[in-house]
Every structure is written in structure tokens, then in C-alpha cells.
């Protein structure tokens, strides 16, 4: 059995909702990590898209792209409301794809713990930590966001039009 400490379950101190500002079409949105309900709806849609043989092997996937747009719809907010699925379906594929991949990552859905993925997560977390430190230290607010002085959109903080 794994040992757990009471601190492992003190979510007030451990967890802030992951939210990323998104700009598209002159509008501002928030990409927010999936709630438990949103994650379940997405995973149910994935399972419904799979045709499975008796031996458990998948023979086809139908509607997989719909499941991806569903997750984006459940995670993208304008004010206090989800962006309607019909609106998400009208957005360019390259934007929906980036939002989908980012929503999965910040929600820890289909988590891939490969070395490459972990390094990307570490880079993103290092950037977020630096930003938080700069916000708390006004003397550093004028410094660049990246180590080499260039601006980076690698973290997916905003999407331009």
C-alpha cells in the first residue's frame, strides 16, 4: 500500500485551477481545466466513438473529432459561460486542435508521462513560477519573460488571430 500524508489531500493549498487566457477573433476567452463532469463527458464520448471486438481490440473510431471539440467546448469560457459547441465547431481546425491539446494537458486527461512531455511541463511550470515571482516583486516587473530575452508563446498562454 502506498503511504499518504494528510497534506496529500489538502487541495486548498495544493491546487489552483489551471486557466489560460485565449484571444481569438477580437474576443477574450479563458481555457479552464476540465471539471470532473467535463472530463467524464469527454471520456464517455471517446469510448462511444470506439467500435470494439470481443477480444477488446478497437476496430474503428467514429466521431473522435467530435469528442475533441466537446472537450474544447467544456473547457473554453467567455465570462461565466461555456462557449457553445456550435461556435467551437466554426473555429479553424488549427485553433481547435491547439486548444484541445492544451485542455487535455492542463486537465491531466490522457496524461503522457514521457520524458519529452515532462520536460515541456517543467518548462511551462518554470515560466509560471517566474511570472508569479515577478508579480510579487515589483522591481523585476520590467524584465523579459524568457531567459534569452525573446518573447515566447510556447506555453500557449494566448492564441493570436
Domain contains 122: yes
Weakly modelled stretches of the chain, pLDDT under 70: 1-2, 6-8, 13-15, 111-119, 121, 138-161
DSSP secondary structure letters along 35-92: PHHHHHHHHHHHHHHEEE-TTS-EEEE-SHHHHHHHHHHHHEEETTEEPPHHHHTTS-
Q: Is the pTM of this model over 0.75?
A: no
pLDDT at 36: 93
Structural domain contains residue 105 = yes
Please name which of 106, 141, 142 lies closest in space to residue 34, comparing C-alpha atoms.
106
Q: 49 with 125, same domain?
A: no
Domain assignment present for 59: yes
For 58, phi then psi, to 5°, come to -85, 130
Adjacent-strand bridge partners of 50: 61
Q: Is residue 161 part of a domain?
A: no
Q: Looking at the structure, do residues 55 and 117 belong to the same domain, yes or no?
A: no
| pLDDT one-digit tens code per residue, 50-73 | 777 777 777 777 877 899 999 999
Separation of alpha carbons 160 and 105, rounded Å? 20
- Do the domain assignments include residue 126? yes
The answer on 107 and 118 residing in a single domain is no
Same domain (yes/no): 134, 58: no
102 lies in the same domain as 120: no
Range of the domain at 131: 112-142
Q: Is there a domain that residue 8 lies in? A: no
Check which CATH number belongs to the domain holding 103 and give it.
3.30.2220.20
Same domain, 39 and 80: yes
Q: Do 129 and 51 share a structural domain? A: no
Let me know if residue 7 belongs to a domain: no
Closest CA to 65 of 40, 85, 39: 85
Q: Does residue 117 sit in the same domain as residue 101?
A: no
How many domains, in total, are found in the chain? 2
Beta carbons within 8 Å of 97's beta carbon, 6+ residues apart: 68
Amino acid at each position: 500500500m502506498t503511504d499518504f500524508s494528510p497534506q496529500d489531500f489538502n487541495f486548498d493549498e495544493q491546487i489552483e485551477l489551471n486557466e489560460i487566457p485565449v484571444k481569438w477573433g477580437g474576443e477574450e476567452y479563458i481555457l479552464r481545466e476540465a471539471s470532473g463532469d467535463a472530463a467524464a463527458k469527454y471520456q464517455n464520448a471517446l469510448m462511444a466513438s470506439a467500435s470494439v471486438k470481443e477480444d477488446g481490440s478497437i476496430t474503428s473510431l467514429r466521431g473522435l473529432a467530435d469528442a475533441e471539440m466537446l472537450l474544447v467546448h467544456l473547457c473554453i469560457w467567455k465570462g461565466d459561460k461555456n462557449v457553445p459547441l456550435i461556435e467551437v465547431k466554426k473555429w479553424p481546425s488549427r485553433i481547435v486542435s491547439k486548444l484541445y491539446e492544451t485542455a487535455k494537458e492542463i486537465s491531466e486527461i490522457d496524461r503522457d508521462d514521457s520524458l519529452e512531455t515532462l520536460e515541456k511541463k517543467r518548462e511551462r511550470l518554470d515560466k509560471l513560477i517566474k511570472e508569479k515571482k515577478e508579480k510579487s516583486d515589483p522591481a523585476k516587473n520590467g524584465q523579459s519573460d524568457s531567459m534569452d530575452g525573446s518573447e515566447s508563446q510556447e506555453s500557449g498562454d494566448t492564441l493570436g488571430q
